[in-house]
Amino acid sequence: MREDMSPAPKGPFPFKSLWVFSTIALCAIFILASVPPAGAQTREQDTRRYTSIIQNVFDFIQKHYVEEVEPQALFEGAMKGMFDALEDPYSSFLSESDMSDLNETTQGSFGGVGLYISKPVGEGTGGNPPYVEVASPIEDTPGWRAGISPGDLIIEINGESTDKLTMDEVLARLRGEPGVDVKLIIRRGEKLEFPVTLTRAIIEVPTIKYDMIGDVGYLKIITFTPMTVDRAKDAIEFFKTKNYKSLIIDLRNNYGGLLQSAIGICDLFLEGGVVVSTKSRIASENMVFTARRSTAVPTAMPIVVLINRGSASASEIVAGALKDRGRALLVGEKSFGKGSVQQVFPIDQVGFKLTTARYYTPSDVNIDKIGIPPDREVKFPEINEEQAEALGQLIISNKIPDFVKERPEATQTQIDGFVRDLNREYGIDASLLRRLVRNEQNRTTIAPVYDLEYDVQLQEAVNIIGNSSYNQLLRDAKTLKTLQDEAAREEEAIVS
């Protein structure tokens, strides 16, 4: 997954060379590796011992392998192995191209299909092979326009199974020259599989979209980059010109970004106090981040935050802070659950990304692998196994794209008739079919800022924020600490 939920890099790595080697015989290596020194071993002694082994093996391979080996190849292989041993999907060695990709993703643009992805180390979720999982599509990109959703598995790229590919190899196949087709097989749920052909495009890293819904300001934060806070301020100034009375902040499918950007967004809504704290293994490196005393949005203004399982990392910091501080109600689905902080350390042209801390919300809880539950859960209609198979057949038939292509200006009456025909043929819920038609229509244009007709989560947010009982709902909302404590007590009761 390409994202950096971290402070700015701390400068060059504090050493110029990672190895100093001496020549030894093969038997000496084996003796050193297999016979531990007598007596109790401290961690520092173990560190020196294994470092020495690595140095000697590196030198031995250089001198005795049947073919000449480039030192860089051994170095990069050793680095990748060390980070794989951590079994942390967010810590990794970064090759020169990875470093370039990281900078492009957080600050610029790149040629690709517009998907934030992750790949498990070892077995995949639900006992599946370690296929690539879509964390979130980037709006107005080929992946988004194709209807790829958070949680979808990419099981093949151009006919090649992704379970055997490394993350670098996956990215090399998805990214590249714009205008080139990339053929995927997508698995959704247990049974639904369908092909998707994406044409690479220049992916501009987006930040903010905004508009008015009546007298409600709608602010969609797509990702957290150095420009996000300034763009959010522009949106708020726009809302002021429209005399907005309340605000909806949409963090759905926002997979994170920069920590400082998330804190800056919270500054706009919170009047002082804790936004987030980070705790590492080294106590002196623990940090507490607080909001400024002044806000850009009146502290009494009603706010609803939309989240789903594609909301992660920096977006969870914002959602957690506004919830724990009693500043907003959360609507939607439980968030992803990424409560760790990574920092990027460059080494010449390469580098590495390392999890250095976990973050804690204002009520002092960490949501890593847990997620943030909404105050009001609203899910899109789910389909059963039979409907999933029917949906797969419909997607393969290409009937919806053909209809939209033949009738780009279709009237609502024509769409309703087409949906009725599909409903009779495939038995798929009519509301889902209408949403699929609308998504197909949106693929050939710039995506609308919002779609109130089909977005049931946004509908609920509008209803809540216009409800006279909003303030009571906000007072009744529980902090994440309270929710986690209640869950722990319930678990204890079940066990006992």
CATH number at residue 247: 3.90.226.10
* CA Rg value for the chain: 25
Positive or negative, the CA dihedral 139, 455, 192, 310 is: positive
| Catalytic hit among 338, 353, 375, 455 | 338
Where is mean pLDDT largest: 100-104, 219-223, 384-388, 449-453? 219-223
Cα separations in angstroms, 416 against 264, 347, 390? 45, 59, 19
pLDDT at 325 over 80: yes
Could you say which of 204, 219, 244 is where a domain stops?
204
- End residue of a domain, out of 327, 354, 380: 380
Domain that holds residue 184: 109-204
In a domain, 404, yes or no: yes
**What is the tens place of the pLDDT at every residue in 55-86?**
999 999 999 999 999 999 999 999 999 999 99
Q: What is the mean pLDDT of the chain?
A: 85
Is there a catalytic annotation at residue 338? yes
Looking at residues 80-108, what average pLDDT do you find?
81
Both 236 and 326 in one domain: the answer is yes
Instruction: List the catalytic residue out of 261, 313, 340, 363.
Output: 313
Q: How many domains does the chain have?
A: 3
CATH code for the domain of 189: 2.30.42.10
The three-state secondary structure class of 226 is: coil
* Residue 342, domain member (yes or no): yes
Specify whether 253 is located in the same domain as 152. Answer: no
Q: Is the predicted pLDDT of residue 294 greater than 70, yes or no? A: yes
On whether the CB atoms of residues 182 and 158 are closer than 8 A, the answer is yes
**Cα dihedral sign for 478, 483, 484, 488?**
positive
| In-domain check, residue 113 | yes
Instruction: Let me know if 324 is a catalytic residue.
Output: yes
Dihedral sign for Cα 63, 67, 71, 75, please. negative
Band (25; pLDDT cuts 50, 70, 90): very low
Cβ(236)–Cβ(268) below 8 Å: yes
pLDDT (average), residues 158-177: 88
Which residue among 4, 324, 375, 455 is the active-site one?
324
Which percentage of the chain shows pLDDT scores above 70?
87
Regarding whether 258 and 187 lie in a shared domain, the answer is no
Together in a domain, 366 and 394: no
Q: What is the DSSP string of 83-109?
A: HHHTT-TT-EEE-HHHHHHHHHHHHSE
CB atoms within 10 A of CB 10: 12
What is the percentage of the chain residues whose pLDDT exceeds 90?
55
Q: What is the average per-residue pLDDT within 459-485?
A: 94
425 part of a folded domain: yes
Q: How many CB atoms lie within 10 A of CB 22?
A: 8
Instruction: Report helix, strand or coil for 414.
Output: helix
With 0-12 / 13-18 / 19 or more C-beta atoms within 10 angstroms meaning exposed / middle / buried, residue 49 is middle
Backbone angles phi, psi at 439, to 5 degrees: -60, -40
Q: Which two tokens stand for residue 352?
A: 């590495």
Q: Are residues 130 and 268 in the same domain?
A: no
- Shared domain check, 398 and 314: no
pLDDT for 35 equals 45
Q: How confident is the model at residue 395 (pLDDT cuts 50, 70, 90)?
A: confident
* pLDDT value for 23: 29
Domain finish residue from 169, 204, 239 = 204
Residues 6 or more apart in contact with residue 330 via CB below 8 angstroms = 304, 305, 306, 307, 319, 322, 323, 372, 373, 374, 375, 376
Angle, CA 142 vertex, CA 434 and CA 265 arms, to 5°: 90
Residues 275 and 366 in one domain: yes
Residue 189 resides in a domain:
yes
| Dist. CA 93–CA 79, nearest whole Å | 6
The first and second tokens of residue 266, run together, are 């919270």
Task: Say what the pLDDT of residue 105 is.
Answer: 59
C-alpha 312, offset from chain centre: 5
305 domain residue, yes or no: yes
Query: Cα–Cα distances in Å, from 124 out to 84, 131, 132, 165?
Result: 15, 7, 9, 13
Same domain, 226 and 329: yes
pLDDT tens digits for range 248-276: 999 999 989 889 999 999 999 999 999 99
Q: What is the pLDDT of residue 121?
A: 64
Side chain identity, residue 134: V
Are residues 368 and 254 part of one domain? yes
Question: How far is it, in rounded angstroms, from Cα 389 to Cα 426?
Answer: 9
Cβ–Cβ < 8 Å for 60, 26:
yes
| CA–CA gap between residue 444 and residue 413 (Å, rounded) | 21
pTM score, two decimals?
A: 0.74
Task: Read off the pLDDT of residues 112-131 as tens digits, 9 standing for 90 and up.
Answer: 998 988 887 666 555 678 89
pLDDT at 108: 53
In the predicted model, is pLDDT for residue 303 greater than 60? yes
In terms of domains, do 197 and 229 share one?
Answer: no
Question: What pLDDT is recorded for position 16?
Answer: 35
Tell me the range of 195-209, 297-311, 370-384 where mean pLDDT is highest: 297-311
pLDDT on residue 40: 47
Looking at the structure, tell me whether residues 371 and 256 fall in a common domain.
Answer: yes
- Quick one: 121 exposed, middle or buried, by C-beta within 10 A (0-12, 13-18, 19+)? middle
pLDDT of residue 10: 40
Q: Examine the domain organization and report whether 375 and 266 are in the same domain.
A: yes
